[in-house]
Amino acid sequence: MVQILRRCDAEIFEKKDHDPFHQRLYSSAVIQTMVDVAKRVEMMLRDPEESVIVLSGCGTSGRIAFLLVTSFNEMMKAQKQKQICSYIIAGGDRAMLTSQEAPEDDPALGAHTLEKICAGKKHVLFIGISCGMSAPFVAGQLDFCLQHLDIFTPVLLGFNPVHMARSEPMQGCSFHFKDVAERMTAEQRHEKAFVLNPVLGAEAISGSSRMKGGSATKIILESILLAGHEAAFRGKRTTPECISGWITASEMVYETTYSHSDELAALIHQAGESLRMKAHVYYIGWGTLGIIGLTDASECVPTYGADFDDIRGFINNGFREMKNKEGDLSCLGPEFVIGHKDFVDTILPSLSQNDMVLFLFAVNDDLHEVTALADQVRRRTSNLHAIAHDLEKFTIPETVCNMFGTILRITWPFSSEEVNSVVMRQRWELSTKWCLNAISTGAHVLKGKVYMNYMIDLRVSNSKLYTRAINILQRFTGCSKSECVRALLRAIYSTEDLSEDMTSADVWKHTDAANRRDRVVPTALVMIQCGCTLTEARHHLDCHPVIRDAVNACFNSSKTKSTVD
């Protein structure tokens, strides 16, 4: 799996410049657009009182927006400059830790949130992120910008060609995402808007854009923001060469990270074992590495239909460290209890040997704190491991490394002066993201939550995922769309007899109901494939707790049946 993921992620950096329809990250047109956008960042930074840069997205795209804005603003603060970056995540800050897929469907909400955040500003650089070029929330925002081009410069970041942008109707709208993307392209000719859409190749798990899509979002936007910053404050002109230089630095992070494939494979194996035994995986991170952990963990719920506590993240100092707009959200429920102290108080007392604990830290984090917490964990379990970053001239002491079973330790070839730089930290974040994406994906594959590269047990919580569920059913059963829709609705509404109200309801009513139900897609798949009732399908799934086994068994039995017939 590590080797497959390694090859898959390599496609982000592929240098094929001869395909006119599919621009890659290194294609000259993409680099030029990045230069153009970096120049807009420079302009905003030179006029901080009147300007704001907004990064916005849904799900992972919103989480990456948050992370980038937080670290860029921290850098500005440290250099006593005005913090002019802001983030929007569909569903608000709670969406950083939990799956809030429904607000993604609401274009009016997107536009309204953007309008509020930019009130009174004369210049707004708006970067709307939608990896699949599909999120109505972002389309609503881009449409709003296109109507106010005197103030807004909209940028669309995604990883599909414009002609493949989503063209399904959006809630309460006369246009769809593709319309907006085409209008953006038209405005790009007058440099009033920009579309940044290199293709990255398919995701390892179909549709899991948190992986390559999320990594490329981070790489592209960090390069743009840093280039703009260097131009505004260090007089360094933004050129295509300097943008390619930033990308090449990320490629080096990719190479270095995957050169530790043995340790990575060991960690995937360990996490898979824990999930298979119905135990847990806990990421205990420091600073922004903690945020990477929280993000990775929260994404397993919509992707694999996981429970929130299958894989969970914790960060030192909890919400104080997150520095999110809405502050401490811990009163919202157990998913929002994220501090190390909370881990010690609520999880540690019942931690078992089957639970895996994975520390995420770097040499400049508080190593006393790391040691003390590792000591406490070791008193309950030896299933303690780490991903740790240090530098050739500033290494983590062996005594600390020896506390962990498997330690994926990456010693980076940078000077010790870089240790506190934002750039160094961003590289460690990217490296940690690659590792955790591999661990949580691999562990769920081992748990049997993936069937032939499809997230067969996804939560059907918005219109994109509803369409994806039908596509999955059609692909595997070969049945007509209408048959698949009926089976899906029977599973969603938990009934054999669909009423007129149910079949005629709109997709948002379906997703609202589906969001509260488990194993919706597997149930529908078994019903279609085995031609059985809802109760029989559920019974079949109960007999095969591993989803992939359940699906395999029903395909095998229908094969046998048709041979006999």
CB nearer ligand S6P, residue 188 or residue 440: 440
**Rg of the chain taking only CA atoms, in angstroms:** 24
162 with 188: CB under 8 angstroms? no
**C-beta neighbour count of 565 within 10 angstroms:** 5
CB nearer ligand S6P, residue 128 or residue 285: 128
Number of H-type helices and E-type strands within the chain: 22, 10
Q: Within 259-334, where are the H helices?
A: 261-276, 287-304, 319-322
User: Residues 545, 551, 556, CA angle at the centre, nearest 5°?
Assistant: 120
CB nearer ligand S6P, residue 22 or residue 378: 22
Cα 12 to Cα 399: distance, rounded to the nearest angstrom: 37
Please report, as ranges, the residues that interact with ligand S6P according to CB under 6 A: 57-61, 104, 129-132, 134-135, 208-210, 299, 302-303
CB nearer ligand S6P, residue 89 or residue 492: 89
Q: Are strands 384-391 and 123-129 parallel, antiparallel or unpaired?
A: unpaired
CB nearer ligand S6P, residue 221 or residue 396: 221
158 with 132: CB under 8 angstroms? yes
User: Residues 323, 328, 331, CA angle at the centre, nearest 5°?
Assistant: 160
Minimum distance from CB of 131 to ligand S6P (Å)? 4
Minimum distance from CB of 355 to ligand S6P (Å)? 24
Minimum distance from CB of 91 to ligand S6P (Å)? 10
| Cα distances (angstroms) measured from residue 466 to each of 86, 402, 514 | 31, 47, 9
Strand partners, 87: 55
Cα 501 to Cα 400: distance, rounded to the nearest angstrom: 62
CB nearer ligand S6P, residue 114 or residue 391: 114
User: Residues 100, 106, 110, CA angle at the centre, nearest 5°?
Assistant: 95
CB nearer ligand S6P, residue 129 or residue 145: 129
Closest CA to 555 of 204, 454, 563: 563
What three-state secondary structure class fits 383? coil
Minimum distance from CB of 304 to ligand S6P (Å)? 10
User: Residues 119, 89, 511, CA angle at the centre, nearest 5°?
Assistant: 125
CB nearer ligand S6P, residue 94 or residue 380: 94
Cα 214 to Cα 94: distance, rounded to the nearest angstrom: 19
CB nearer ligand S6P, residue 56 or residue 188: 56
Minimum distance from CB of 121 to ligand S6P (Å)? 25
323 with 474: CB under 8 angstroms? no
Minimum distance from CB of 306 to ligand S6P (Å)? 11
CB nearer ligand S6P, residue 165 or residue 403: 165
What three-state secondary structure class fits 407? strand
Minimum distance from CB of 140 to ligand S6P (Å)? 12
CB nearer ligand S6P, residue 159 or residue 343: 159
| 246 alpha carbon, distance to own chain's centre | 21
Residues in the chain: 565
411 with 395: CB under 8 angstroms? yes
Minimum distance from CB of 203 to ligand S6P (Å)? 8
Contacts of 124 (CB under 8 A, 6+ apart): 51, 52, 53, 54, 118, 145, 151, 152, 153
Cα 214 to Cα 66: distance, rounded to the nearest angstrom: 12
Position of minimal CB gap to ligand S6P:
59
Minimum distance from CB of 276 to ligand S6P (Å)? 22
Minimum distance from CB of 214 to ligand S6P (Å)? 7
225 with 68: CB under 8 angstroms? yes
Minimum distance from CB of 410 to ligand S6P (Å)? 25
CB nearer ligand S6P, residue 129 or residue 337: 129
Minimum distance from CB of 57 to ligand S6P (Å)? 6
